[in-house]
Structure 1
Amino acid sequence: MLEIRGLTASVGGNDILKGIDLTVPDGEIHAIMGPNGSGKSTLGYVLAGREDYEVTGGSASFNGIDLLAMEPEERAAAGVFLAFQAPVELPGVNNANFLRTAVNAIRRAQGEEELDAVQFLKLARAETKRLHMPDDMLKRNVNVGFSGGEKKRNEVLQMALLKPRLAILDETDSGLDIDALKIVADGVNALRGPGFSALVITHHQRLLDHLVPHRVHVLSKGRIIRSGGPDLAKELEKSGYASLIAEAA
């Protein structure tokens, strides 16, 4: 379970999060929506431990673990995964080697045996096939020369291999066509079940058509101003945020 209470945070001296209260029960997918500049990505970065994002108050825990007291790599080892809105390129770093190193680091932290090269490639190829990714993507450098859709699929591939307990998707649907959007959603849905929760940050209701979240939360000016079921996203698609923001003012 993800439990956030009174979370405040700043970036470069500017207050962004101004008191977030949010609970994501075990096994549930929750969506975060809101206008640009409302603090959606900041919330994801704070939970993942990205540097330069200063927590100024409140708490955040996952399955009883104090996330805010942990280094980013410790959060990853505990099962927290962040899919970036704009995945970075890593020239000179082979994708398969990068993924195997990440998978084995998590396995070591969780007391499991590491995968040798043959075991890993068998697993990785099965996942690339499921995600409709060509095998040669494993041979390329991480995200170098990848299209926008390929970069997002590579993020979902990482998630599928790492099997996190909490996945934070920061606008992973941004810039995707309909087919790629469904592949991203299918990657998340494949992990659904007890022991997996997700916080999906998105501008678009169309992703939620495939994911069908348990709850939708609207963030504005650093605060959650309304929460509801999946129909809330459809309401926002029709009417926008203005009326909700006006009501919350």
Structure 2
Amino acid sequence: MSILEIKDLHATVETPEGTKEILKGVNLTIRSGETHAIMGPNGSGKSTLAYAIAGHPKYEITSGEVLLDGEDLLEMSVDERARAGLFLAMQYPVEVPGVTVSNFLRTAKTAVSGEAPALRTWVKDVKGAMDNLRMDPAFAERNVNEGFSGGEKKRHEILQMELLKPSIAILDETDSGLDVDALRIVSEGVNRAKENTEVGVMLITHYTRILNYITPDFVHVFVDGRVAEEGGPELAERLENEGYDRFLAAAN
């Protein structure tokens, strides 16, 4: 059982107009096997929350705590956070020219686990995960995300999650840019990872369509840098019908 605890987290970012506070006191707890949907309008700070937890240097944590199994994530480097069990699927995965998917995946697994996986078992695991995600085996020899479509990039993110087996996974708008078939396949990958490893999931999204495939245990409405309301799956349905207007009015 792993637990991610976010306590009164505040974070800023530098803008042309000066320092701007984005996170304004976030409190959130995610346990193994739970799925927490983070929903909110554009500019509310959802992605900032994801990247601040992962250790992106653009964002400065000014106060608060982020603990993973009692250990202070904010005192760790980015790679130490990954080894501790944190995983981030990015909204806009970057291209890595000159590094093949197969080399990238095995290097990442070795770095996270502390030892290289047995080659025969690893090849079987990679092939099985790619088959499940309907990925052409030829992708393994292509450069990371280079020339990939939006859907292919998102499948590759979930492929990483399945193989690295984190204890807590942050999925930043994994549904953006996906057609119906790709959305279903990616969602099945997330559900499969939950079943196999009991990973705790923070699922950041604008829309409820991915929640038709990945049922959240908790829904958090994120507005103006903080959690404005919490509930179960029924809250997502309410947001679908009503939008975020009442939360935005209250924030202003």
Give TM class, smaller chain.
Answer: over 0.9
Alpha-carbon shift at residue 14 of structure 1 (Å): 1.0
Residue 41 of structure 2 corresponds to: 35
Q: Secondary structure at the match of 1:191?
A: helix
Residue 216 of structure 2 corresponds to: 213
CA deviation vs aligned residue, 1:158-188 (integer Å, no higher than 9, x gap)? 1110011000000011010111111111111
| 2:75 partner letter | A
Distance in 2 between residues matched to 1:156 and 1:166, nearest whole Å: 13
| 1:141 partner letter | N
Which residue of 126, 136, 141 maps to 2:128? 126
Superposition RMSD in Å: 1.3
- 2:34–2:199 Cα contact (<8 Å) kept: yes
Shifted more, 24-33 versus 157-166: the winner is 24-33
Residue 246 of structure 1 corresponds to: 249
**Structure 2 gaps, min length 5:** none
Q: Secondary structure at the match of 2:193?
A: coil
Q: How does 1:170-181 map to 2 (within 5 A)?
A: 170-181=172-183
Q: Secondary structure at the match of 1:176?
A: coil
Identical-pair percentage: 52
Residue 44 of structure 1 corresponds to: 50
- 1:172–1:202 Cα contact (<8 Å) kept: yes
Distance in 2 between residues matched to 1:16 and 1:9, nearest whole Å: 6
Q: TM-score, normalised on structure 2?
A: 0.94
Alpha-carbon shift at residue 15 of structure 1 (Å): 0.4
Q: Secondary structure at the match of 2:174?
A: coil
Q: Secondary structure at the match of 1:224?
A: strand
Q: Secondary structure at the match of 1:133?
A: coil
Alpha-carbon shift at residue 248 of structure 1 (Å): 5.2
Residue 203 of structure 2 corresponds to: 200
- 2:175–2:183 Cα contact (<8 Å) kept: yes
Distance in 1 between residues matched to 2:181 and 2:145, nearest whole Å: 19
| 1:34 partner letter | G
- 2:223–2:247 Cα contact (<8 Å) kept: no
- What count of residue pairs does the alignment treat as equivalent? 245
CA deviation vs aligned residue, 1:82-102 (integer Å, no higher than 9, x gap)? 000010011111110010000
Distance in 2 between residues matched to 1:73 and 1:245, nearest whole Å: 36
Which residue of 165, 168, 172 maps to 1:166? 168
CA deviation vs aligned residue, 1:180-209 (integer Å, no higher than 9, x gap)? 111111111112257420100001101011
| 2:153 partner letter | K
2:24 paired with 1:18:
yes
Shifted more, 117-126 versus 233-242: the winner is 117-126
Alpha-carbon shift at residue 211 of structure 1 (Å): 0.8
Q: Secondary structure at the match of 1:17?
A: strand
CA deviation vs aligned residue, 1:57-78 (integer Å, no higher than 9, x gap)? 0111111111111111000001
- 1:225–1:245 Cα contact (<8 Å) kept: no
Alpha-carbon shift at residue 228 of structure 1 (Å): 0.7
Which residue of 102, 107, 115 maps to 2:108? 102
Which residue of 64, 69, 93 maps to 2:70? 64
Which residue of 57, 60, 64 maps to 1:54? 60
- 2:106–2:116 Cα contact (<8 Å) kept: no
**Structure 1 gaps, min length 5:** none
